């Protein structure tokens, strides 16, 4: 049995990893000490910036939610969370993962950094950046909206690890009122929130 230790804090992108582990049916140890988790020395030995999520898998350190979710899915091939390496479906997993991490998360994160005092003090906020963030985020959501005209999920029209990664990105966007007017994308996110193992449902 694989041994996994997850360093997590509910609202952070560590929710992606918890969700993937639960969907995969893989037991894990959780290290969650509230905001003090960021000061955990073991975490800082894994992630060079002391950020969440981070894991050890059989003692091997790994950070970045997309990388961890992909690794978890590979540990449970019977779960159907991810296609085998070398298949076109696997390429599509990487495509949508990169889309979420590059076209959605940076803008949502920038808005959050310039809204709450936890990351930067208020006197270092740049509120003027928010409209630009919203513009680029919504432009990306429009592309997802078009994709969902033809199917209910991102890859091969069935739930997969790509949806776990995208689901968090869209949940973040909904919190910032960036999904208004995107009916199919909202319905897609609602489907994801209805899944038994989705930890974001408790935060909705």
pLDDT at res. 160: 99
Confidence band (pLDDT; 50, 70, 90) for 197?
very high
Please check whether residues 99 and 36 belong to one and the same domain.
Answer: no
Query: CA 3, 169, 53: angle at the middle one, nearest 5?
Result: 30
Please check whether residues 105 and 175 belong to one and the same domain.
Answer: yes
Please check whether residues 62 and 116 belong to one and the same domain.
Answer: no
Tell me the C-alpha distance between 186 and 203, whole Å. Answer: 16
In a domain? residue 8: yes
Please check whether residues 96 and 169 belong to one and the same domain.
Answer: yes
Using CA atoms, how far residue 40 sits from 24, 30, 33, 90, 166, in Å, is 27, 13, 9, 34, 28
**Residue-wise DSSP of 150-187:** T-SSSBTTB--HHHHHHHHHHHHHHHTT--TT-HHHHH
Interhelix angle for 65-75 vs 88-99, to 10°? 150
30: which strand partners?
6
In this prediction, residues 3-24 reach a mean pLDDT of 97
Mean pLDDT of the chain: 97
Please check whether residues 16 and 71 belong to one and the same domain.
Answer: yes
In a domain? residue 201: no
Write the CATH number for 130.
1.20.1050.10
Final residue of a structural domain among 79, 109, 133: 79
Final residue of a structural domain among 15, 47, 79: 79
Please check whether residues 69 and 104 belong to one and the same domain.
Answer: no
Nearest Cα to 132, choosing from 178, 185, 181, 180? 178
For the CA atoms of 73, 79, 85, 89, the dihedral, rounded to the nearest 10 degrees, stands at: -110
In a domain? residue 65: yes
CA 160 to chain centre: 13
In a domain? residue 94: yes
**pLDDT digits 0-9 by tens, 147-176:** 999 999 999 999 999 999 999 999 999 999
**pLDDT digits 0-9 by tens, 104-155:** 999 999 999 999 988 899 999 999 999 999 999 999 999 999 999 999 999 9
Please check whether residues 93 and 75 belong to one and the same domain.
Answer: no
Please check whether residues 54 and 12 belong to one and the same domain.
Answer: yes
Nearest Cα to 171, choosing from 184, 154, 157, 188? 188
Write the CATH number for 33.
3.40.30.10
pLDDT at res. 154: 99
* Residues contacting residue 71 through CB under 8 Å, at least 6 positions apart: 57, 62
Using CA atoms, how far residue 191 sits from 28, 52, 116, 163, in Å, is 25, 26, 29, 10
As for how many domains the chain has, the answer is 2
Please check whether residues 37 and 65 belong to one and the same domain.
Answer: yes
Tell me the C-alpha distance between 202 and 191, whole Å. Answer: 14
Please check whether residues 72 and 116 belong to one and the same domain.
Answer: no
Interhelix angle for 161-175 vs 183-193, to 10°? 110
Q: Domain span at residue 66?
A: 4-79
């Amino acid at each position: 049995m694989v041994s996994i230790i997850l360093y997590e804090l509910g609202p952070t992108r560590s929710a992606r990893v918890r969700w993937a582990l639960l969907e995969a049916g893989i037991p894990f140890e959780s290290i969650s000490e509230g905001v003090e988790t960021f000061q955990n020395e073991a975490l800082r030995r894994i992630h060079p910036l002391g950020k969440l999520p981070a894991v050890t898998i059989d003692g091997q350190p790994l950070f970045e939610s997309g990388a961890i979710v992909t690794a978890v899915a590979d540990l449970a091939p019977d779960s159907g969370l991810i296609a085998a390496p070398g298949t076109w479906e696997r390429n599509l997993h990487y495509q949508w993962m990169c889309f979420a991490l590059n076209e959605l998360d940076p803008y949502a994160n920038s808005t959050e950094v310039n809204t709450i005092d936890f990351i930067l003090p208020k006197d270092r906020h740049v509120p003027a950046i928010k409209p630009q963030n919203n513009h680029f985020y919504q432009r990306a959501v429009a592309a997802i909206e078009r994709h969902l005209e033809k199917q209910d999920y991102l890859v091969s029209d069935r739930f997969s690890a790509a949806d776990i990664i995208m689901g968090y990105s869209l949940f973040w966007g909904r919190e910032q009122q960036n999904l208004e007017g995107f009916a199919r994308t909202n319905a897609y996110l609602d489907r994801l929130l209805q899944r038994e193992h989705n930890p974001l449902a408790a935060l909705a």
